[in-house]
Amino acid sequence: MSPDGPAGTDGQFSRAAALLIVSKYVIAMTGAGMSVESGIPTFRGEAGLWARLGGPDPSQYQNLLADPAAYWKREIERSTDPYIVELRMAVSRAKPNPGHLALAHLEKSGLVRSVVTQNIDGLHQSAGSEAVIEVHGSRYRMRCLGCGNRTPREGLFLTRAPDPCALCGGLVKYDSVLFGEPVPRDVLETARAETDRADCVLVVGTSSTVRPAAGLPRIARANGARLIEVNPNATPLTNVCDVVVRSTAAAALPEIMRAVSLLSPAAREPAAPQT
């Protein structure tokens, strides 16, 4: 076990690479673990935000619908909560890590078609990934609950409740999906379409516990797709994965990318990710 988690093995990297190469339509599915090496803590696990600062209010979405003014008043007041401050500062300082860069290179070399992410930090896009489906929204956007219109979010900390939607007058909130809030239909349909096309899913850094996202790799598998899991820890998905790379995203994904270029000279040699 290396200081920053299990090191993974060459066998695991090459088995993952071999599966990527023979597959026709690979998608990646990522969670909070993808961004740990960019300085953003996970939610669960002993080092996670919730273990240290307590979990979020599970009725936050219902509270917003019931009384938007009171919700936003609390939201603005609690923006100084240690949990909120730690997460927002970590996200604002975060840069893509070698794992994000490797996934972007695998997309450019045509081996990974899209990234379905539960993360709201935008690091896949900053790393150069283009086909990114943010099933839990983005910290960079606001969204209207009436018509779904998305607009840029002005800064990390709102000082007043957002104005009603300019298009339909509907209720506007952060684009990030709240607990109890349905995942917006458009992103869910796109994520599901990618899942149905995939014959291989590279699952990275997720506890595979929060649906509907957690159900997508299982749906792919039921369609006959192969699963590769990159995670320093076991998850409920581990025992149905074809390859398990017991390592971290930033350590394993560049190694898998290197194994791809060794195994398949035909695959365009992706440049080494600039850390």
Which residue, 143, 161, 145, is CA-closest to 153? Answer: 143
Tokens representing residue 128 in the block: 């150069």
Count CA atoms within 13 Å of residue 178 on its CB side. 19
Note whether 32 binds ligand APR by CB under 6 A: yes
Burial of 69 (C-beta count, 10 Å sphere; 0-12/13-18/19+)? exposed
Q: In angstroms, what is the minimal distance from the CB of 207 to ligand APR?
A: 3
Residues 205-244 that bind ligand APR (CB under 6 A): 205-207, 209-210, 231-233, 235
The residue sitting closest to ligand APR, measured at its beta carbon, is 33
What is the rounded CA–CA span in Å between residue 96 and residue 103?
11
**Residue length of the chain:** 275
Which one among 27, 28, 31, 109 touches ligand APR, defined by CB under 6 A? 31
Secondary element (H or E) of residue 150: strand 150-152
Binding pattern to ligand APR, positions 65-104, x when CB under 6 A? ----------------------------------------
Note whether 109 binds ligand APR by CB under 6 A: no
Specify whether 100 is catalytic. no
Note whether 249 binds ligand APR by CB under 6 A: yes
Note whether 124 binds ligand APR by CB under 6 A: no
What is the rounded CA–CA span in Å between residue 64 and residue 62?
5
What number of other Cβ atoms are within 10 A of residue 45's Cβ?
Answer: 16
Note whether 42 binds ligand APR by CB under 6 A: yes
What is the rounded CA–CA span in Å between residue 91 and residue 164?
27
Size of the site for ligand APR (CB under 6 A): 24
Note whether 136 binds ligand APR by CB under 6 A: yes
Note whether 48 binds ligand APR by CB under 6 A: yes
Question: For ligand APR, which stretch binds (CB under 6 A), given 58-66, 189-197, 204-212, 264-272?
Answer: 204-212
- CA 14, 100, 3, 245 torsion: positive or negative? negative
- The site for ligand APR (CB under 6 A) is made up of 5, 31-33, 36-37, 42-45, 48, 118, 136, 205-207, 209-210, 231-233, 235, 248-249
Query: What are the residue numbers of the active site?
Result: 136
